[in-house]
Amino acid sequence: MKRYFKTLFIPAMLIASFACNKQFDGLLNNPNYPSPTTADVDLYLNAVQLSFKDFYNSASDFGAQLSRMNYWSGPQYSNAYQPASFDGEWEQAYTGVINNANSLIPLAETQQKYIQAGIARILKAYTMGTLVDDFGDVPNSEAELGADNTNPKADAGADVYASVQSLLDSAIIDLNTTGATSVSSDLFYNGSASKWLALANTLKLKFYMQVRLVDNSAAAKIQALISDNNLINTSSQDFVFQYGKNTSTPDSRHPHYGGDYANGGGADYLSNYFMWKVLAQKYSGTVTILTDNTTANNADPRGRYYFYREVANSASFSQTSVPCYYVPGPPSWYPTVPQQTPFCYCGKGYFGRDYGDNSGTSPDQGFRTGFGIYPVGGEFDANQYKTISLGLGSGGNGINPIWLSSYTQFLKAEAAAIGITSDDPATLLQSGIDASISKVLAFPTAIGYTIPASFVPTSTQISAYETNVMNIYTSGTSAEKLDLIMSEYYIALWGNGVEAYNNLRRTGSPADVQLAVATPTPGLFIRSFLYPSVYVNRNQNAPAQKVPGTAANKVFWDNNPDDFIK
């Protein structure tokens, strides 16, 4: 028997009509990728803060290298870095901090989440100002256009700085707005609007101090901020990022702990100059440390917290009279050792590398001095002389010391020393030193690490150090006094290369910075970095790439001579 089937014929146009009536377009919205209008402001804030942390780390590391706080291999300034060296910092800034902040701010204002908007503006302001400090003229006014302008032009550094101050002013308005909702994702201040306000005012002071050489109106603004004094003045207001101890998924440890604390000995070289500056410079070049808390001397109480020695003596790998990598000894052009600067080895087991030492890696991993308990969460030096290994010390739960109360005191001291305010610079200098020492000595307890009682500095030992510094200050000329203020600021900045690099370019201090050891002619000091390759290669409106070594390439606020820094 035959079976017949009827086929229902539906015209194509009618099928299309049915499809449109079903309104399937709404299913094209992926719930895993919400639109900006429905996004969670606090999740945006998380992205801003974590990107900011990464941006700060990159900027701090480059600044620390050139300011002799961290080891820099060199030896020529002209080829020390490549444009690609700065791609990470650039992308962390624009793709991470700035892009997410630009999306967050209008959404937060609409939802009346003013604290979140204020936080985003502050972090964006710090980022934009630091981009100028590192690179000079950078995209700003057109950088917020996204897909509407994929080739933003660079704005003059001074104009970007003006927008930074405007951002901070807007943040202050946000943070003072009544009815602001609470914050569930503040990784710095746990939602405290008053602490963010103090930071905003402090950053205004910092950026005005940066431009004081080229802006005659800055002095009055600095005076006003210091007079109002709504600044970061106490340790409870310190602006830091706190790390954890996880080794993976994610690795939450301080990056310098993760890079240095490997099995088999320290992986990083510390800067001989910085160790010498802390441990020996005030003591005629002889390393001086506190032995225990029953012995009174005027050594820096922070030394054992800053640096961890793997061995008691590294002379087997180096010697002061015939430095290890520069046989038969210091070249004739190099300054006297060790009264002027260190050369290869500081002594008493403090073993790092000199500024501009580009010799190959040696089998000295078990001799290298490592990062201590502060600020990276490493090991406290209690004369253990153990080889660095994974997990040693506090496990990496350190901090980024982005702005501490001691920094504020040193800035006030600088302003007083150059006549911007009528305050006593000596009092402010001692206040800055005391705040720094207090922060460092309290740090182990804050992260749950116990220092052997016999190694905790006493008030007598702290007072002896401060008295020694103040005696040096009293006997100095005006120039020497300012240099001492900035040198003590430099020591307190351990872990913060951003301010160390800025201060060096602005003031030339510390004046005794170590010269590049491998050559008497390293070229002109790097006053701003090369533009990143992701910028100059992809942006049709990017400025021409800088030519290192042939010009100082100074940022707009730096009007010091080209050879101001060696």
pLDDT in tens, 468-515: 999 999 999 999 999 999 999 999 999 999 999 999 999 999 999 998
Mean pLDDT of 382-397: 95
- Give residue 340's pLDDT: 62
Whether the Cβ atoms of residue 274 and residue 68 lie closer than 8 Å to each other: yes
CA–centroid distance for 241 within its chain:
11
Taking the C-alpha atoms of residue 523 and residue 479, their distance in angstroms, rounded to an integer, is 26
Mean pLDDT of 306-321: 74
- 23-37, 77-91, 203-217, 534-548: least confidently modelled range: 23-37
- Give residue 319's pLDDT: 44
Taking the C-alpha atoms of residue 405 and residue 457, their distance in angstroms, rounded to an integer, is 21
The pTM of the full predicted model, rounded to 2 decimals, is: 0.91
Q: Which residues of 3-32 are buried (b: 16+ CB within 10 A; e: fewer)?
A: eeeeeeeeeeeeeeeeeeeeeeeeeeeeee
Determine the structural domain holding residue 151 and report its residue range.
Answer: 40-231+523-566
Q: Is the dihedral of CA 405, 407, 410, 416 positive or negative?
A: negative
| Span 161-186, pLDDT tens digits | 999 999 999 999 999 997 667 788 99
- Block residue for tokens 């307890």: 445
Structural domain count of the chain: 1
Q: For the chain, how long is the longest CA-to-CA vector?
A: 121
How long a stretch of residues is the chain? 566
The identity of residue 315, as a single letter, is A
- Give residue 551's pLDDT: 77
Whether 518 has a pLDDT exceeding 50, the answer reads yes
Whether the Cβ atoms of residue 261 and residue 396 lie closer than 8 Å to each other: yes
Taking the C-alpha atoms of residue 87 and residue 145, their distance in angstroms, rounded to an integer, is 21
Report the percentage of the chain scoring pLDDT > 70.
89
Residue 91 lies in a domain: yes
Read off φ and ψ for residue 461, nearest 5 degrees: -65, -40
Whether 5 has a pLDDT exceeding 50, the answer reads no
Taking the C-alpha atoms of residue 191 and residue 397, their distance in angstroms, rounded to an integer, is 22
Residue 451 lies in a domain: no
Q: Is the dihedral of CA 467, 472, 477, 482 positive or negative?
A: negative
Residue 110 lies in a domain: yes
Greater pLDDT, 547 or 35: 547
Mean pLDDT of 431-445: 98
Taking the C-alpha atoms of residue 248 and residue 267, their distance in angstroms, rounded to an integer, is 19
- Give residue 40's pLDDT: 86
Whether the Cβ atoms of residue 529 and residue 81 lie closer than 8 Å to each other: yes
Helix (H, G, I), strand (E, B) or coil at 551: strand
The identity of residue 30, as a single letter, is N
Angle at CA of residue 66, ends 64 and 67, nearest 5°: 65
Question: Omega before 444 cis (within 30°)?
Answer: no
- Give residue 140's pLDDT: 97
Residue 49 lies in a domain: yes
Mean pLDDT of 324-345: 63
Residue 455 lies in a domain: no
Residue 158 lies in a domain: yes
Angle between helices 218-228 and 405-417 (to 10 degrees): 130
Taking the C-alpha atoms of residue 286 and residue 339, their distance in angstroms, rounded to an integer, is 9
State the distance between the two ends of the chain, measured CA to CA, in whole angstroms.
104
Taking the C-alpha atoms of residue 89 and residue 153, their distance in angstroms, rounded to an integer, is 19
CA–centroid distance for 66 within its chain:
13
Per-residue confidence band for 34, with pLDDT thresholds at 50, 70 and 90: low
- Give residue 30's pLDDT: 61
Q: Which residues of 520-555 are buried (b: 16+ CB within 10 A; e: fewer)?
A: eebbbbbbbbbbbbbbeeebeebeeebebbeebbbb
Whether the Cβ atoms of residue 272 and residue 353 lie closer than 8 Å to each other: yes
- DSSP state at residue 95: I
Angle between helices 497-507 and 41-66 (to 10 degrees): 50
Q: Is the dihedral of CA 419, 424, 430, 436 positive or negative?
A: negative
- Give residue 1's pLDDT: 42
Dump the DSSP string for 134-158: HHSSEE-TTTT-GGG-SSPPEEPHH
Whether the Cβ atoms of residue 487 and residue 278 lie closer than 8 Å to each other: no
Candidates 41, 49, 40, 136; CA nearest to 96 is 49
Mean pLDDT of 414-421: 98
Mean pLDDT of 33-52: 83
What's the token pair of residue 105?
């701010």
Per-residue confidence band for 19, with pLDDT thresholds at 50, 70 and 90: very low
For residue 529, what is the domain's CATH number?
A: 1.25.40.390
Rg (CA), the chain: 27
* CA dist 148 → 144, 152, 406, 506 (Å): 9, 10, 44, 38
Mean pLDDT of the chain: 90
Strand positions, DSSP E, 176-258? 239-242
* CA dist 420 → 187, 202, 411, 431, 511 (Å): 35, 16, 11, 18, 22
- DSSP state at residue 485: H
Residue 96 lies in a domain: yes
Contacts of residue 220, Cβ cutoff 8 Å, sequence gap at least 6: none
Q: Is the dihedral of CA 538, 542, 544, 546 positive or negative?
A: negative
What's the token pair of residue 446?
């804050």
Dump the DSSP string for 355-408: TT--PPP-S-TTT--EEBSTTTS-B--SS--PPP-TT-TTTT--EEEEE-HHHH
CB count in 10 Å sphere of residue 99: 19
Whether the Cβ atoms of residue 369 and residue 307 lie closer than 8 Å to each other: yes
Whether 128 has a pLDDT exceeding 50, the answer reads yes
Taking the C-alpha atoms of residue 66 and residue 527, their distance in angstroms, rounded to an integer, is 9
Which residues face 347 on adjacent strands? 350
Residue 28 lies in a domain: no
Helix (H, G, I), strand (E, B) or coil at 353: strand
